[in-house]
Structure 1
Amino acid sequence: MFAVNSIRLRQALAALLLAATSLGGHAAEPKVLRYAFPVAEIGFDPTQLSDIYSRTVTAHIFEALYAYDHLARPIKFKPLIAAALPEISPDFKTFVVRLRPGIYFADDAAFKGKRREVVAQDFVYSFKRFADPALKAQGWSTFEEADFVGLTALRKQAIADKTPFDYEREIDGIKALDRYTLQFKVVNPRPRLLQSVLAGNDLRGAVAREVVEFYGDKIMGHPVGTGPFQLKSWTRSSRMVLERNPDYRERFYDAEPAANDAEGQALLARFKGRRLPMVDRVEIAIVEEVQPRWLSFLNDESDFAERVPNEFITLAMPGGRLAPNLAKRGMHSVRTVGAEQVLTVFNLDDPVVGGYSADKVALRRAIGLGIDVEREIRLARRGQAIQAQSQIVPHTTGYSETFKSEMGDFDTARAKALLDMFGYVDKDGDGWRDQPSGAPMLLVRNTQPDNASRQLDELWQKNLAAIGIKIEFKTAKWPENLKSARSGKFMIWGVGSSADRPDGQSALQRLYGPSTGTQNLARFKHAEFDALYDRMQGMPDGPERDALFLQAKRIGVAFMPYKVHLHRIHTDMSQRWMSGFRRPLFWQDWWQYVDIDADHRQSH
């Protein structure tokens, strides 16, 4: 009873502190951050997520051992729940991490009124969940390739025996040495284990076993972490409300921007020493159509326009500069080339576009050559992108601004010649190319019911008609299309992909055979590529690894399981009463680093 009452007392005191001002005793206006997601979330259990929108929410609820320094460019890591950077053996096979005592999960009914401290065993449990076959964890491939001693064997045993995953069985790969000490052991060297597995609040934060067992199959709607925010309400595909965690520990704004980084230094000077988070509440609406999303920002109904819609970019940022009328209103803009890609996925198991024979490869390459990406950038994306040449994205190792390949070519004549050479000609006289066997050929591309997707569909139809290929579109919501892609029940789909770490090899996971069904949506299987990928995992960064990146990129271009179109340029815009935003590159958490001047907004 005392534990229950003490928690309630602390929460009541926290509420009073938030409500009081330093002068006059008047109630302070809560600082509320309001903005919209363009795509619906899936849920909030880290093991079951891959989409960026759900992960943006979980990134503010959960906390990993390490976090990115949000202002540092180049990227730096810093301890979050860990007390210091890991102790790493010279062979990159053993990592020891010591936790900072006194960090607690947010209060929840699952804890039965007791304060629940984070301990080393919580990370053992959280990481093992990704290996549990019953959960079908979207991030399992990352843990599998991390090569933790005994983890894959534990998973395989559960599959073979058709028994529940054995969480109690201790393995050398992920072990709690004591209450606050973790030891990780990997079979092969993993120089980048910190960035691949030990950092990233969105997916690799601490999850309490009591919470998972308490909520069971409803865990997607009950995230409980140690982070700065708690989920207070959720209307699926419509609205999410998060509030400041009243029990969040003392944590203060700090960072290490480069000395010549004027923007980063200015942010540090303004906010250094402020207690985090600086806002009290975050309200997120799902607004899929671009016009109402943009109008809600212009009408001051939202504080932040994340990724200003391309349809309005020429009005908002003519010539790449903030429009005078918006500048007069005190709005701010941030323009960033994203560490991401937009790509077309071909299902390699599909009987029409899949396969590895010369004619099937020729078909995919011809489709790639027939897509006018420059026109897509100019018209559909209003210039807000740069052409891609490979699967590797900007800001990551392996990316080169000078690399050039067929991936970036638009050549209708060459596309037609390839199709003619391999027998994709009109055999029945209906004006459309048929398959080499003589069977009719109809391509089906999955798409979404929004205006941006419709514009892209029109470009696809026009481009493929120009090379004699008939295509139709299958429309569904984005989560449904993702489900179809993961199960291999599709032919072609267009999707975006964001890097979650500075290492470019994470993008190559889309081509890695063992990642089929998770990151490898194309279901591409190529022994030479897989061997190359495995070699890269254990190598330190340097010229030798860079040479392997080049080989990997060339294989991706040659077989074309994906047509990588572009890397998007993001323009984010905030109202004059919101400050502190800087677009994250590889991480999703940023709400705690921004401030809202509630009085200024109220007086507007």
Structure 2
Amino acid sequence: MKQSFKYSMPSYALALLFGATLSVGTSYTQARSPANPNKVLRYAFPVAETGFDPVAVQDLYSAHILYSVFETLYTYDYLASPAKLVPNTAVALPEVSADGLTYTIRIKKGIYFSPDPVFKGKARELIAADYAYSFKRLLDPNLHSPNSWLFEGRISGMDSAIQQAAKNGKFNYDQPISGLQTPDRYTLVIRLKEPNYNFPMLLAHQPTGAVAREVIEHYRDKAGYAMGHPVGTGPYVLAQWTPGSRIILKANPDYRGYTWNFKATHPEDQKIVQQMQGKKMPQIGVVDIQVIEESQSGWLSFQKDGLDIFTLDGELPAQALKDGQLKPELVKKGIQLSRIADPSIDYLYWNIQNPVVGGFSKEKIALRRAMAMATSKEKFINILAKGNAKKLESPIPYGVTGHDPNYKSSIPYSVKAANLLLDRYNYKVGKDGWRMLPNGKPLVIEFMPSSSSARSMQMAELLKKELANIKVNMVSKPVPFAEGLKAEKQCKTMFKASAWIADYPDADNFMQLFYGNNIHATNHTCFKLPEYDRLYEQSLKLADSPERDLLYRKMSRLLEFYAPVQFMSTRYRTVVAQPRVIGYKKHPILPAEWMYIDMQDKQP
């Protein structure tokens, strides 16, 4: 999942039993939502959201809203560690055929979409066809979904429908698809072209949440998106939205609710169990979200009791923590700490389609490699993250299934070697002191910060100094976060910093970032190499194993050789909560925990 390049995040693994009926840790009831409207949780996003249509958005912050409004078939246990996949709107984990190709999923009865005028006063029940429609939307070529990679090339019979839609400009949603069937109102059958051991985890990712076809067709814009009118079956509804400024969620009064019954897997979670056991959920009636781009401003607001939960990034963990624990003055105030190692990567990348830094010729590879060699990961972590991160050697972060703790990158930090490499490939230094292209034209590297915030500008300044050590001239062209996302998908960047936090806790979610078929979706390097793609496609057919790990090592070495990317660090996530917050623990995958927690009444 795309994340803004702000610091606070590395790791863990997955326990997943196929074909087994697994308790969600919850028991659903037919009662209306028990949420208390006087319980208002105040929250902050460090960058602006982009919208609320599951097919259209990919950033972490919009995902908070998607997860609150729309429901996926599966989700993750709130307390289980390693992360455990559990049913959400599905009755149980999928029934999987012996050949690993057919998934049969039963939908729970009695789940309803939140009321909307488009339903004409009638209760609209969630059915299997809603998921079939939602999955087709992800693959509709006319919608250009950045999340199409989830199902692209995987579902039997879908390719011909996509090709036909690309030709005539319209996707036929009523066309039968052999690999996506609804034999009855509550049964969804998915037939894959090839086995994929990660497929159930894809069905827990926010973009696969169910939308109602009539809602989309009524409220969609010219691009086919319903960005400002999300209608789902989840515990919250969008009550107010001022783009880039404020979002207010209110408890969905018709949400079915559940009884909190999660089990502690770590001793420190016993307190949460004692606080929350048996409560009817959700308890929080209102979630009030502000966009606060400057981290210091957010921290000041939290300290003045203007926010209830706040993520510390940049220099803030150093201000609040000592030896990984809250400072005594914060403990005295009753402030709570949740600090986890996130499954995330921070990286620098060069657009392989860019005429200056792109291409596969030896001199272009040398240019990218030299810039990677001249960039210190230690400085990156110490200056930008204030030590709140670990050095990253490969595309697969710590603890994620497939991570190799012994892997070492073949690209060293060496300014001397970087200069020698540029000299060798005829990047001569001109009279102005900057290197030129081999053809004698000026070499100028354009870096695109995600915003004009102090944090982004600090990163740009650090990179400019690093590249100046090899006499490469870098200029910065900051753009708003949403515009940066758009430029990435259109392969219109040159040099950029990016970050990715796991959509699901497996190496595949990170290796797909460089898969050629994901250009214009998640592959912002616009890197397409047949050998890498072949190895990636082979890895999808394998469960976690030494054989699959070997493929990942080969793919990682290819990325180092062609140098479209330099992996920098993987972060810690440090979250603080006010004393009135009850039962909070940061989850490594779920983006919004407010449906699992409680808080003391804040009377009007």
Aligned to 2:162: 155
Aligned to 1:271: 276
In the TM superposition, what whole-angstrom CA distance separates every residue of 1:215-241 from its partner, at most 9, and x where no partner exists?
Answer: 121610010111110000100000000
Residue 333 of structure 1: SS of its match in structure 2?
strand
Distance 1:598 1:251 in 2: 20
In the TM superposition, what whole-angstrom CA distance separates every residue of 1:203-262 from its partner, at most 9, and x where no partner exists?
Answer: 11110001101212161001011111000010000000000110010312122443xx11
**What's the TM-score once normalised by structure 2's chain length?**
0.92
Aligned to 1:22: none
Quote the offset at 1:406 in angstroms.
3.1
Match runs of 1:278-317 below 5 Å:
278-306=283-311, 308-317=312-321
Runs of 4+ in 1 over 3 A off after TM superposition: none
Distance 2:308 2:525 in 1: 38
Residue 293 of structure 2: SS of its match in structure 1?
coil
Which one-letter code corresponds to 1:580 in the other structure? G
Which one-letter code corresponds to 1:520 in the other structure? N
Aligned to 1:357: 361
Instruction: Pick the aligned partner of 2:41 from 27, 33, 41.
Output: 33
Q: Contact 1:257 / 1:265 at 8 angstroms: preserved in 2?
A: yes
Q: Kindly indicate whether residue 548 of structure 2 is the aligned counterpart of residue 566 of structure 1.
A: no
Q: Kindly indicate whether residue 226 of structure 2 is the aligned counterpart of residue 224 of structure 1.
A: no
Aligned to 2:22: none
Aligned to 1:432: 434
Q: Contact 1:377 / 1:385 at 8 angstroms: preserved in 2?
A: yes
Aligned to 1:576: 579
Aligned to 2:597: 594
Q: Kindly indicate whether residue 345 of structure 2 is the aligned counterpart of residue 380 of structure 1.
A: no
Distance 2:96 2:233 in 1: 26
Aligned to 2:58: 50
Which one-letter code corresponds to 2:233 in the other structure? T
Distance 1:77 1:288 in 2: 33
Change (3 A) 1:265 1:553: farther
Aligned to 1:138: 146
Distance 2:285 2:335 in 1: 22
**What's the TM-score once normalised by structure 1's chain length?**
0.92
Residue 95 of structure 1: SS of its match in structure 2?
strand
Residue 153 of structure 1: SS of its match in structure 2?
helix
Aligned to 2:325: 321
Instruction: Pick the aligned partner of 1:87 from 81, 91, 95.
Output: 95
Match runs of 1:503-522 below 5 Å:
503-522=506-525
Instruction: Pick the aligned partner of 2:252 from 240, 245, 251.
Output: 245
Aligned to 2:481: 478
Q: Structure 1, unaligned stretches of length 5 or more?
A: 1-12, 20-28
Q: Kindly indicate whether residue 446 of structure 2 is the aligned counterpart of residue 444 of structure 1.
A: yes
Q: Contact 1:305 / 1:573 at 8 angstroms: preserved in 2?
A: yes
Quote the offset at 1:45 in angstroms.
0.1
Distance 2:410 2:240 in 1: 48
Which one-letter code corresponds to 1:352 in the other structure? V
Aligned to 1:422: 425
Q: CA RMSD in A?
A: 1.6
In the TM superposition, what whole-angstrom CA distance separates every residue of 1:485-534 from its partner, at most 9, and x where no partner exists?
Answer: 11111211111111111221111111101111111111101111100011
Structure with the largest fraction of helix: 1
Quote the offset at 1:309 in angstroms.
2.8
Q: Contact 2:349 / 2:564 at 8 angstroms: preserved in 1?
A: yes
Residue 512 of structure 2: SS of its match in structure 1?
helix
Quote the offset at 1:106 in angstroms.
0.9
Distance 1:581 1:63 in 2: 21
Quote the offset at 1:459 in angstroms.
0.7
Distance 1:581 1:556 in 2: 39
In the TM superposition, what whole-angstrom CA distance separates every residue of 1:457-490 from its partner, at most 9, and x where no partner exists?
Answer: 1111111111110000001111111111111112
> Which stretch shows the higher mean deviation, 261-270 or 469-478?
261-270
Larger radius of gyration: 1
Aligned to 2:336: 332
Higher RCO (C-alpha 8 Å, min separation 6): 2
In the TM superposition, what whole-angstrom CA distance separates every residue of 1:131-172 from its partner, at most 9, and x where no partner exists?
Answer: 112211111112114x10111221111112x23100000111
Change (3 A) 1:310 1:18: closer
Distance 2:160 2:56 in 1: 21
Residue 593 of structure 1: SS of its match in structure 2?
coil
Q: Contact 2:35 / 2:283 at 8 angstroms: preserved in 1?
A: no
Distance 2:406 2:503 in 1: 23
Quote the offset at 1:598 in angstroms.
2.1
Quote the offset at 1:296 in angstroms.
0.5
Residue 296 of structure 2: SS of its match in structure 1?
helix
Change (3 A) 1:92 1:18: closer
Quote the offset at 1:18 in angstroms.
6.3
Q: Kindly indicate whether residue 192 of structure 2 is the aligned counterpart of residue 186 of structure 1.
A: yes
Residue 214 of structure 2: SS of its match in structure 1?
helix
Quote the offset at 1:14 in angstroms.
6.3
Residue 406 of structure 1: SS of its match in structure 2?
coil
Distance 1:451 1:104 in 2: 45
Which one-letter code corresponds to 2:416 in the other structure? A
